[in-house]
Amino acid sequence: MSLRRLRAIAAKEFIQIRRDPRSLGLALGIPVFMLLIFGYGLSLDIDHVRTVIWNQDPASQLTEEFLMNFKGSKYFNIIKTTDNYRDIVRMINDGSVLMAIVIPKHFSRYLRSGEPAPMQLIIDGSDANTATIARGYVKSVVSGYNIRVLQRALENRGVRKPRSFDTRPRIWYNMGLTSTWFIVPGVIPMILMIVAALVTSTCIAREWERGTMEQLISTPVKAAELVIGKFIPYFAIGFLDLTVGVLMGTLLFHVPFKGSYLLLVLLSALFLTGALYQGIFISIVARTQIMASQLASITTMIPALLLSGFIYPIFNMPQALQLVTYLIPARYYTSILRSLFLKGVGLEAFWYEAMFLFLFAFVMIGLAVRKFRKRVA
């Protein structure tokens, strides 16, 4: 392999990138755009559940005391009170509220008598996940209120407070349970995977379409030199995207980085190498820029978004899909980044993921070089 020819191919590709500022702007703009969208727009925290209340026992202090548990909670946003079902149906149908609480007549009488007090809860179940969480919030409020009522009743009768469990949770790595700390390290692998494959997926297909590949074939440049030479400029762009992602994550979204920057660089280089050579391999196979872009989107965007554990927990997926995720490189890199950002652990905690990234890069390099050699022959 000649370093002089390698530098010449890399220089040629740098010139080509510079002549296409739109593609370069896209490669640098996508990370910023996606981090802003996912960092600010996507939240796994379900707070301020929009709620309407129909209190049919408004004169009772006990009823108001009970409702204050909802009005004073950050998990509920009481946007309106009503006095009929028509408003409840209309507001749930048009999406202005997610939930309705209906307090029946004589609610306080039930509380004073010691009988179970009925309360109607109406939830919009069209979003099953949000509805389940909202129902859990209500159950938690009601359970807490029941415990306090029971304790007061026992104290009034002179009964000593019964023994109970005192759970004191200690949350590691994300004490405030901030979903942004979970999301941002997961966005970076998806960005690198998508940008790397999309940008490089057209680099060799473009040469075939423009008729310049035949000229390159006629030169002494070897297949490996051509493939590696085209890889180098995009590797530099990919690392620039990584730098932007890490800086935005730590400075803009205040996600702590507790791990080793050396490990971050080395393992990111492995992942980026595999992703770039995957794009080059797609470019060689597709031979047209349109087909290459479509193949790159299908093979990178969907798996990185849905099967990497970025948003959806892998353990909640069907068993068949869980097996498929073992073939998704973004799964391993996502796990590595979250460990480096939040846990600050070393290589001993994710050596298995690192080995897969090495295997992924090795296989993609071999496929790209071998497939291009066949085309040259």
Which pLDDT does position 325 carry in this prediction? 92
Say if CB 364 and CB 193 are below 8 A apart: no
SS (H, E, C) the chain: CCHHHHHHHHHHHHHHHHHCHHHHHHHHHHHHHHHHHHHHHCCCCCCCEEEEEEECCCCCHHHHHHHHHHHCCCCEEEEEECCCHHHHHHHHHCCCCCEEEEECCCHHHHHHHCCCCCCEEEECCCCHHHHHHHHHHHHHHHHHHHHHHHHHHHHHCCCCCCCCCCCCCCCCCCCCCCHHHHHHHHHHHHHHHHHHHHHHCCHHHHHHHHCCHHHHHCCCCCHHHHHHHHHHHHHHHHHHHHHHHHHHHHHHCCCCCCCCHHHHHHHHHHHHHHHHHHHHHHHHHHCCHHHHHHHHHHHHHHHHHHCCCCCCCHHHCCHHHHHHHCCCHHHHHHHHHHHHHHHCCCHHHCHHHHHHHHHHHHHHHHHHHHHHHHHHC
- Above 90 in pLDDT, residue 271? yes
Say if CB 138 and CB 87 are below 8 A apart: no
The mean pLDDT value for 30-53 works out to 83
Which pLDDT does position 362 carry in this prediction? 94
Which pLDDT does position 165 carry in this prediction? 65
pLDDT band at 100 (very low <50, low <70, confident <90, very high): very high
- Above 60 in pLDDT, residue 102? yes
Which pLDDT does position 323 carry in this prediction? 92
The C-alpha atoms of residue 190 and residue 51 are separated, in whole angstroms, by 36
pLDDT tens per residue across span 197-222 = 777 777 677 777 776 766 776 777 77
pLDDT tens per residue across span 144-176 = 888 787 777 666 776 666 666 667 778 888 887
- Above 60 in pLDDT, residue 374? no
Q: Tell me the domains of the chain and their CATH numbers.
A: 3-42+178-376 (no CATH), 49-156 (3.40.1710.10)
Between residues 189 and 22, which one has the greater pLDDT?
189
The C-alpha atoms of residue 255 and residue 226 are separated, in whole angstroms, by 40
pLDDT band at 377 (very low <50, low <70, confident <90, very high): very low
pLDDT band at 38 (very low <50, low <70, confident <90, very high): confident
pLDDT band at 87 (very low <50, low <70, confident <90, very high): very high
pLDDT tens per residue across span 233-270 = 889 888 998 999 999 999 999 999 999 999 999 999 99
* Minimum mean pLDDT range among 18-22, 252-256, 291-295: 18-22
Which pLDDT does position 333 carry in this prediction? 94
pLDDT band at 280 (very low <50, low <70, confident <90, very high): confident
pLDDT band at 288 (very low <50, low <70, confident <90, very high): confident
Which pLDDT does position 356 carry in this prediction? 95
- Above 80 in pLDDT, residue 21? no
Between residues 112 and 86, which one has the greater pLDDT?
86
Between residues 112 and 331, which one has the greater pLDDT?
331
The mean pLDDT value for 60-73 works out to 86
Nearest to 334 by CA among 197, 126, 184, 232: 184
Which pLDDT does position 160 carry in this prediction? 65
3-state secondary structure of 101: strand
- Above 50 in pLDDT, residue 353? yes
Stated pTM of the model: 0.79
pLDDT tens per residue across span 333-345 = 999 999 999 998 8
Look up residue 221 and give its DSSP letter: -
